[in-house]
Structure 1
Amino acid sequence: MASPTLPLFQDPRITANNFANLNGQTYHYILGEPSTPTPTPKATIFLIHGWPDLSTGWRFQIPTLLSHDLRVIALDMMGYGQTAAPTAPPASLHLYGFKRAADDIAELARQLGCSSIMLGGHDWGGAVVYRVAQWYPQLVAALFSVCTPYFPLASSYVSTQEVVRAVPQFAYQLHLASGELERRLTTKGEIRGFLNAMYGGRSQTGEVAFDPFKGVDFEVLERVEKTKLVGDDVLDYYADQFARNGLHGPCNWYRTREANFKDEQSLERPSTIQCPVLFILATKDNVLTRDTARGIEKNIPNLTQREVDASHWALWQTPAEVNGHIQDWLENVVFGDKSRL
C-alpha cells in the first residue's frame, strides 16, 4: 500500500500501485499522467532508481516532468519494493543485470504502446539507462543520468577486485556483494536504521556508517542519529518496502559484473549513444566523483553536462537545481527543432 503521508501519492495525476508482468517477472511502478487538454502526452519517460532506493526516489522530479506534459513511469527495479526479488541462486544473476533491465523496460514500453521513450536514471539506474540506449537505440529518444557517468563497454572481463585497485572508492561494492549486509540486517527496524544511515544520518560525533573505501560499519550504525535529509514518513515507507523481501535482491546488483560482461559481448564495439544525453554531476558525491566522468563525451556526441552542489542524494538534496537542469535540457535540446519525439 502507498503511504498516505507521502505528498507524491496525494497528487491526482499519479497512481501508485501499478503492476506488469515483464518477461515472466512482476514489476511494480508509479504512473503519472499529465493534466493537459490534448489527448496524448508529448512523450513517455521511464525513471530508473538505484541503490538503496525505490521508485519514490523520484518524488521531487515526477511533478516537474508531468508539468512538461510527459507521461511518467517510475519503476521499482528487480529486487526492490513490490517488484519480484528472485533469490540467486537458484535464480540466475542475469535477472539483476543490465540486459534483463533493458529487456524489461522495452517490454513495458511495448505493453504501454510506446514506440519511443525517454529515460532518466540515478545511481545504478544511471548505468541502466545508458545500456538501454545501447540495447534498444531505436526505442530511446533521449536520456538523462544524475550522478552516474557513462562507463564504456569492457573489451575483456574485469573483476570487481580489479576495478577497486584502479578506483579505490568502489571497495564498498565488495562488502555489499559479500552477503554480510543481508544476513545481519533482517528486521524492519534494522533495515530502517540502515537506510537512515545511508541517507545521511551521523553519530553525535559526526561518524558515518558508510565508507566507500570499506562498506558499512555496523558498530557506527548503532550510534547513528536521525538524518536531516528525509522525514519519518519517507523512512517508514522505505522501511516497509525494503522489509518485504530484505536486502538480498538489492545487493544482487553488486554481484552482476561477470553476468553483465557476458551479456554485453553481443553489443557492437566501439559503442556510442547517439540520442541526446544530459549528465548531471553531483560535486560532493564521494563515489561517483568528477574523475569517474572524465572523457564520457567520447562515446556520447550529443552530450549536455551540468552539475549541482550536492551529495549522492542530489535528487532530494537539491531538487530545484536538478529539476532546473532537466527542464532546460528538455526545452532547449530534447524538444528542439531536431527532436526525435
Structure 2
Amino acid sequence: MLLQPIAPESDDRVEHKTAVLNGCSYHYLYGVPPGGQFKATVFLIHGWPDLSLGWRYQIAMLLDEGFRVVAPDLMGFGGTDAPKVPPNSINLYSVKRASDDIAELAKIVGARTIILGGHDWGGWVVWRAAQRYPELISHVFSVCTPYSPPREEYLSTEDLVKALPQFAYQLHLASGEVEKSVKDEQSIRQFLQGMYGGKGPNGEVVFDPNQGVFVEHLPLIGEGGLLHGKVLDYYVKEYSRHGIHSTLNWYRTGKANWEEDLALLDKKTISIPSLFIGATHDSVLKPEMSKNMQAFMPQLTKKEVPASHWALTHKPEEVNSIIKAWLEQQGFGTKSSL
C-alpha cells in the first residue's frame, strides 16, 4: 500500500532545517522514524526543475521502513542559497561542490556512513559523490540517471547533442533565454505545471528535449500533470525566492565539471552496492543509455519502471518497491539501529 506522501508544510514526519555547508546555507528535509531509532541514514538528492520535496513518496516509505532521511535543496534551488554568477564562480554549482556539501551535511547530522540516492541531476551527483567519498557512502542508487565515467577529453554540450539529439534542450536552458520569460509567480506556475505534464487547450506543451522550453506556450498551460494543489503552490513559492536563473546554472557547468572530474580518472569503478532504476518512457535519459554500467559497477542491480522522467511521483509505488527490496537485499530488512 502506498503511504501518504510527505506534505509540503506541517507534516510531523519531517522537519524543515537549515545548515551552513562550506559557506553556503542549505535548506533540507530531515526525518527520523518514530521512537528515534533508525537502521541507517539515507540522503536523497533531487534534480531539475525539482526540489527536495520531489522525494515525498520515497521519504514516507523510508521513514516507515526505519531509515533516517535527509533531503537537501541543491544550490540555487528552494530554500538553499543561490549565489550570483558572476561575481561568484560557476564552480559553486558543480557536481564536486554538491558532493562536498553532502559530505559536510553528513558530518552535521552525525552520520558516519550514508546511503545516497539521486534523480536527474541528483543522479549525476550521487555517482560522483560515491567516487569522491567511498568511506562515507556505503550504498548508492539513481533513478533515471545512468552512470557515465569521467572522461580524459572535454565533450561540449554541442558535441554531445550531435550524438544524442535529445540533449539539445540543455543548450536552451544554458542560454539565458528561458529566465527572460519565466520571471514572475504566474509564469513560474505555468512553467512548472507544463514541465510536469500539464498542457494547453490544444495539447500545447512547454518542453521538448530536442528544442527546449516553448515560452510562448506558457500562458496556455492550465491545471494538469503531476504537480498540482498544495504541492504546486509550495513549488511556486520556493521557485519565486530566487527565480529560475540560479537553477539553470547547473546547465552552465559543463567545462567546470569536466575539469574537476579529471581527479577521478583512476576511480572509474564504483565497487559499493549500486542500484539503477531506469524509466521506460524517459525521453532524455533513455534506459538503453545504462547498457555499459556493469563494466564499472561489480555490485550493480538494474531495474526499470514503466514511467516518464518523473518516475518518483509518476510511479511511486513501483519505485518504492524496488528501493525497498534492494535495501532488504543489502541487509537492511530487520529492525535495528545504527
TM over 0.5: same fold?
yes
Gaps of 5+ in 1: none
Q: Name the residue aligned to 2:235.
A: 238
| Partner amino acid, structure 1, of 2:168 | A
Contact kept, 8 Å, 1:202 with 1:224, in 2: the verdict is yes
Q: Name the residue aligned to 2:23.
A: 24
- 1:221 Cα deviation (Å)? 2.4
Post-superposition Cα deviations, 1:228-285, rounded to whole Å, max 9, x if no partner, equal 3222211111010001000111100000010011111112425111111111111011
Q: Name the residue aligned to 2:12.
A: 12
Q: Name the residue aligned to 1:184.
A: 181
Q: Name the residue aligned to 2:212.
A: 215
Distance 2:213 2:124 in 1: 22
Distance 2:286 2:264 in 1: 27
**Selected match of 1:154 from 151, 154, 160:** 151
Q: Name the residue aligned to 2:199.
A: 202
Distance 2:289 2:7 in 1: 35
Q: Name the residue aligned to 2:131.
A: 134
Q: Name the residue aligned to 2:97.
A: 100
| Partner amino acid, structure 1, of 2:149 | P
Q: Name the residue aligned to 1:314.
A: 311
SS class of match (1:197): helix
Please state if 1:80 is matched with 2:96.
no
Distance 1:335 1:299 in 2: 24
Q: Cα distance 1:306–1:189, how it changes in 2: closer, same or farther (>3 A)?
A: same
SS class of match (1:114): coil
| Partner amino acid, structure 1, of 2:155 | V
SS class of match (1:120): strand
Contact kept, 8 Å, 2:272 with 2:299, in 1: the verdict is yes
TM-score, normalised on structure 1?
0.93
Answer with 261-270 or 293-302: which moved more.
261-270
Distance 1:235 1:8 in 2: 9
Post-superposition Cα deviations, 1:104-138, rounded to whole Å, max 9, x if no partner, equal 00011111211100111010001100010001011
SS class of match (2:57): coil
Contact kept, 8 Å, 2:7 with 2:231, in 1: the verdict is no
Please state if 1:42 is matched with 2:35.
no
| Partner amino acid, structure 1, of 2:21 | L
Q: CA RMSD in A?
A: 1.7
| Partner amino acid, structure 1, of 2:263 | S
SS class of match (1:72): strand
| Partner amino acid, structure 1, of 2:299 | N
Distance 2:267 2:126 in 1: 18
Gaps of 5+ in 2: none
| Partner amino acid, structure 1, of 2:173 | L
Distance 1:60 1:139 in 2: 25
Post-superposition Cα deviations, 1:71-95, rounded to whole Å, max 9, x if no partner, equal 1001000000010001111111110
SS class of match (1:61): helix
- 1:336 Cα deviation (Å)? 7.4
Q: Name the residue aligned to 2:59.
A: 62
Distance 2:8 2:25 in 1: 23
Answer with 291-300 or 145-154: which moved more.
291-300
TM-score, normalised on structure 2?
0.94
Please state if 1:276 is matched with 2:236.
no
Distance 1:307 1:122 in 2: 14
Q: Name the residue aligned to 1:33.
A: 32
Contact kept, 8 Å, 1:6 with 1:233, in 2: the verdict is no
- 1:224 Cα deviation (Å)? 2.1
Contact kept, 8 Å, 2:33 with 2:64, in 1: the verdict is yes
Q: Name the residue aligned to 2:172.
A: 175
Answer with 127-136 or 183-192: which moved more.
183-192
Q: Name the residue aligned to 1:125.
A: 122
Distance 2:13 2:198 in 1: 33
Stretches (4+) displaced over 6 A: none
Distance 2:273 2:197 in 1: 33
| Partner amino acid, structure 2, of 1:230 | L
Distance 2:293 2:333 in 1: 23
Post-superposition Cα deviations, 1:132-172, rounded to whole Å, max 9, x if no partner, equal 00010111000111111111111111111011111100000
